[in-house]
C-alpha cells in the first residue's frame, strides 16, 4: 500500500502499480472515511488496483471545507479528479456509497472522460422526502445533543434491526472511535446540506457510462424507489436490489454485494 496527500486529501493505493491497468476508486458515504470499504478490499484487490481516500473534511484529510460558497456534491467530484491526477490515473471505475455514489454521478456529468464504469450504492438523483426527514432527525441530534448522540443513533439508519441486535457489542465498541473521529460540526452540516441540495435528475439521460445501481429493499435511509428512478433514467444502467442488508449493505451482506460488484466490473460494456 502506498499513500499520499493532495490538496489536503488523504489517499491510498492498494493492489500494486496502475500503469496499463484498470483501477477502481472507492468513495464513501457521509462519514467520508475510506476505511468504510474494508469488507470489499480483498475481493477487489485480487483483481484491480484500488484507490481509497478520505473525503475532504473527514478522516485523515484536512478537517475543513472550502469557504466562499456553499459546499456541493460537485465539489466532491472535483476532489475525486484531484486524487486521480495525483496518482497519474486517466480514468477509473468509481464505486460510491450514498454521498460517494452521488459524487460519482456528478463526476460522470462534469468530468465524463475520467470515468470507465460507475457503481452507485444506495444513492439518489434528487431530494426525496423520506431522506430529508431522516437527515432532519440527524441534524436535530447533532445540533441539540451533540456528536455522541448522533453516532449512537447512526446504526438505526445504517443497519437492519436484526443485524443491530446480533452485533450490539461490536457497535458499542466502535462508538467511541467514531465519536473521537467525528468531523467538525460545521463540516458535517455543510456535507448534509450538499446532499439535500443535490439534484441531477434531469441530467441523468446525459450519462452514457455503464452504471450499476445497487440498492437494498430494506434501506431505512434511502428508499429503494430512488434506485428504481436512477435505473429508469440512466441510459446504460443495471439495477441490482438486495433483499436485505439496510443502508450499509456493503457491511451487512458484503459477500452478496461484492459478488454483484465484481460481476459488473468484469462484464463487457
As a whole number of Å, the end-to-end CA separation of the chain is 30
- What's the number of domains the chain is made of? 1
CA 29 to centroid of chain Cα atoms: 3
pLDDT at 268: 80
Mean pLDDT, range 27-42, rounded to an integer: 98
Q: What is the CATH number of the domain that holds 151?
A: 3.40.50.1820
Contact 106, 76 (CB under 8 A): yes
The pLDDT tens digits of the residues spanning 126-169 come to: 999 999 999 999 999 999 999 999 999 999 999 999 999 999 99
Best CA proximity match to 246, nearest among 189, 182, 175, 166: 166
Across residues 112-132, what is the average pLDDT? Answer: 98
pLDDT class of 231 with cuts at 50, 70, 90: very high
Q: Is 269 a residue whose pLDDT tops 80?
A: no
Count of alpha carbons within 13 Å of 81, Cβ hemisphere only? 15
3-state secondary structure at position 247: coil
Q: Which of 162, 186, 218, 180 is nearest to 33 (CA)?
A: 180
What are the respective helix, strand and coil percentages of the chain, to the nearest 5? 50, 15, 35
159 in Cβ contact with 244 (< 8 Å): no
Whole-structure pTM over 0.85, yes or no? yes
Determine the structural domain holding residue 192 and report its residue range. 2-266
Amino acid at each position: 500500500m502506498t499513500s499520499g496527500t493532495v490538496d489536503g486529501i488523504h489517499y491510498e493505493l492498494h493492489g500494486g502499480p496502475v500503469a496499463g491497468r484498470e483501477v477502481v476508486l472507492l468513495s464513501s458515504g457521509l462519514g467520508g472515511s475510506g476505511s468504510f470499504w474494508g469488507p470489499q478490499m480483498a475481493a477487489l484487490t485480487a483483481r484491480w488496483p484500488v484507490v481509497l481516500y478520505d473525503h475532504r473534511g473527514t478522516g485523515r484529510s484536512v478537517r475543513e471545507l472550502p469557504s466562499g460558497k456553499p459546499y456541493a456534491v460537485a465539489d466532491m467530484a472535483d476532489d475525486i479528479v484531484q486524487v486521480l491526477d495525483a496518482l497519474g490515473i486517466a480514468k477509473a471505475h468509481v464505486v460510491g456509497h450514498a454521498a460517494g455514489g452521488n459524487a460519482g454521478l456528478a463526476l460522470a456529468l462534469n468530468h465524463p472522460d475520467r470515468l470507465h464504469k460507475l457503481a452507485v450504492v444506495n444513492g439518489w438523483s434528487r431530494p426525496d422526502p423520506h431522506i430529508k426527514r431522516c437527515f432532519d432527525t440527524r441534524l436535530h441530534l447533532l445540533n441539540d445533543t451533540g456528536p455522541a448522540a448522533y453516532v449512537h443513533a447512526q446504526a438505526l439508519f445504517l443497519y437492519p434491526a436484526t443485524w443491530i441486535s446480533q452485533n450490539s457489542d461490536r457497535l458499542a465498541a466502535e462508538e467511541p472511535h467514531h465519536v473521537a473521529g467525528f468531523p467538525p460540526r460545521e463540516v458535517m452540516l455543510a456535507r448534509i446540506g450538499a446532499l439535500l441540495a443535490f439534484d441531477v435528475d434531469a441530467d441523468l439521460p446525459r450519462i452514457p457510462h455503464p452504471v450499476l445501481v445497487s440498492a437494498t429493499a430494506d434501506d431505512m435511509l434511502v428508499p429503494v424507489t430512488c434506485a428504481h428512478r436512477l435505473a429508469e433514467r440512466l441510459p446504460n444502467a443495471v439495477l441490482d436490489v438486495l433483499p436485505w442488508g439496510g443502508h450499509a449493505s456493503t457491511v451487512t451482506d458484503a459477500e452478496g454485494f461484492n459478488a454483484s460488484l465484481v460481476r459488473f466490473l468484469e462484464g463487457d460494456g
